[in-house]
Amino acid sequence: MDAWRSALVRADATNIWIRGHDIASLMARTTFTGTLFLLHRGRIPTAGEERLLNAILVSGSDSGSAEPSCAASRMAASGNRQSASAAIAAGVLAIGDEHDGAASRCMEAIEAIVGQAAAEYLPLVEAARLYVERERDAGRQVPGLGRRALANDPRIEVLVDLANREELAGDGFAAMRALETAVSRLIEPLPLNIDGAVGALLYDLGFPPAAGNLMFIVSRVAGLTAEVLEEYTRERPMRIRIPVEYDGVPPVEDGGS
């Protein structure tokens, strides 16, 4: 087999370099959040960028055991105590298009809007209007807007304030605001939600759309480790039995089909 190739990590018998940086030096001088940024962006973040990425990661770390990711981890931990990896992985698997996939979809929308604005010398507001019309006519929902679990989600203000203070809100955030305006005019007024804020600011931090999902996974895994450990230590195995009502066909006579 040919060797695989990678531009991420060089490891030999004496040392490890992450995107060119000696791992010992990273351990001494940066943080975990800084290293995550480095892995994706190829450079150490500025203090402001790191602060913003931290706020994003904290915002998704855990919002309660009721969430599909946390509940799936607990379900797996309930039946299988042999491997914490298995329980964490089960929770990761519940994350996807429906469970916090909207940040990635926002980033794709922003990419399309910013791209069209640049290519056709349009103001963002105009490119956003065209985008919303296309989506509306195709019967698709615009991501990142509309009430989610929390009303007046307090996380949004923290993110927006921080991005403004650190002067990190750029095209992504502007495109998201333009989207909000266009949706309000063309469909109905819908407020920016947490996925929209996170997607826009990850875009402004230079991440590609796929990273919307990936950053949420990193973030949520922190919560999953605590959920799994709490399940192990406070609950007995197999304690979870979901109530189910059968609504299928009645018993058939033997041999029937």
Provide the minimum distance between the beta carbon of 163 and a second copy in the complex, in angstroms, as a whole number: 12
- Binding mask 220-249 toward a second copy (x if CB under 8 A, else -) reads -xxx-xxxxxx-x-x--xx-xxxxxxxxxx
For residue 119, state whether it binds a second copy (rule: CB under 8 A).
Answer: no
Number of residues that bind a second copy (CB under 8 A): 129
Burial (CB count <10 Å: 0-12, 13-18, 19+), residue 154: exposed
21-22 sheet: strands from edge to edge: 9-11, 16-18, 21-22
3-class DSSP assignment, residue 114:
helix
Among 130, 160, 187, 218, binds a second copy (CB under 8 A): 218
Closer of 100 and 135 to a second copy (Cβ) = 100
For residue 121, state whether it binds a second copy (rule: CB under 8 A).
Answer: no
Closer of 59 and 193 to a second copy (Cβ) = 59
DSSP string, 94-122: T-SSTTT-HHHHHHHHHHHHHHHHHHTT-
Among 1, 47, 119, 138, binds a second copy (CB under 8 A): 1
- Binding mask 148-187 toward a second copy (x if CB under 8 A, else -) reads -xxxx-xx-xxx--x-------------------------
Pick out residues in 39-78 that bind a second copy (CB under 8 A). 39-40, 42-44, 53-55, 57-59, 61-69, 71-72, 74-76, 78
Residue type, 89: A
For residue 92, state whether it binds a second copy (rule: CB under 8 A).
Answer: yes
DSSP string, 10-53: EE-SS-EEETTEEHHHHHHHS-HHHHHHHHHHSSPPPHHHHHHH
Q: 109, 102 in Cβ contact below 8 A?
A: no
Q: How far apart are CA 196 and CA 179, in angstroms?
A: 10
Task: Give residues with Cβ within 8 angstroms of 194, minimum separation 6.
Answer: 59, 148, 150, 153, 155, 156
Among 47, 85, 138, 167, binds a second copy (CB under 8 A): 85
Among 48, 84, 136, 166, binds a second copy (CB under 8 A): 84
Pick out residues in 9-28 that bind a second copy (CB under 8 A). 9-11, 13-28
For residue 30, state whether it binds a second copy (rule: CB under 8 A).
Answer: yes
